[in-house]
Structure 1
Amino acid sequence: MQTYILLTKFSPDLCQKMKDQEVIGRTWFDQVREKCPSVKFIAHYALLGQFDFLDIYEAPDEETAAKVSLISQVNGAFQAQSLPAIQYKKFLKLVKEI
């Protein structure tokens, strides 16, 4: 499976409900599990910067990764980006091939 990085930024409305974050996060996670059962989450981090959260996950294809981003937006994310990630050793192998 392909590894993806999800960067999420909350909408201003959702920022005002920060004390409800545990429930909001659980709702989001449950929807991802229901709509994208093949997704495997590796890590979840809160960020101090341009984005509010970073998730590392595996998905079988880019369509599934797009669904994860869309579920985030439906649940109040102002911005959600899923980026494909390449393991560093694989990256070095690609560099040697060019």
Structure 2
Amino acid sequence: MPAFVLLTKLPPEAVRNPDEFRAAAHRVADEIRRLQGVRWLSSYSVLGPYDIVDVFEAPDVETATQVALTIRSLAGVTTETYAAVPWEGFLGIVGRVPPGQ
């Protein structure tokens, strides 16, 4: 199943009230669980230009887009979503690329 990396930026006010933040996180998780074929692999809080990195699988790009839009809509955050290829799969693709000059 295709894998996706979701990068999320939280607005400063997102964590001012921890109880509201947790409630929003639970609402988002509940809605994503309802999406057919989505499998959440991991979530990390990170330092840098993004606050959260999530990795999930979805059956197609449309479903991955629905995941991102659900998070944006319910949590009021900014997201970027990237398709991800496992390393071994990437090496296989590299092996099929015509040699350069």
The alignment's TM-score, normalised by the length of structure 2, stands at 0.86
Conserved? CA contact 2:24–2:75, under 8 Å:
no
Aligned residues: 96
1:26 is aligned to 2:26? yes
Q: Deviations over 1:23-73 (max 9, x none)?
A: 221111001112x13100011111111111111100000000000100111
Distance 2:79 2:96 in 1: 33
Q: Tell me which amino acid in the other structure corresponds to 1:61.
A: D
| Cα RMSD after superposing both structures | 1.3
Change (3 A) 1:85 1:7: same
Correspondence for 1:7: 7
Q: Which runs of 4+ in 1 moved over 6 A?
A: none
What are structure 2's unaligned runs of at least 5 residues?
A: none
- Alignment map for 1:1-98 (pairs within 5 Å): 1-17=1-17, 19-20=18-19, 21-34=21-34, 36-98=35-97
Seq. identity, %: 29
Give 5+ residue unaligned stretches, structure 1: none
Q: Does the CA-based 8 Å contact 1:69-1:80 persist in structure 2?
A: yes
Q: Is the 8 A contact 1:46 1:54 kept in 2?
A: yes
**TM-score, normalization: structure 1?**
0.88
Question: For structure 1, which segment, 19-28 or 64-73, has the greater mean C-alpha deviation from structure 2 after superposition?
Answer: 19-28
Contact 2:10/2:51 (CA < 8 Å) preserved in 1?
yes
Q: Secondary structure at the match of 2:65?
A: helix
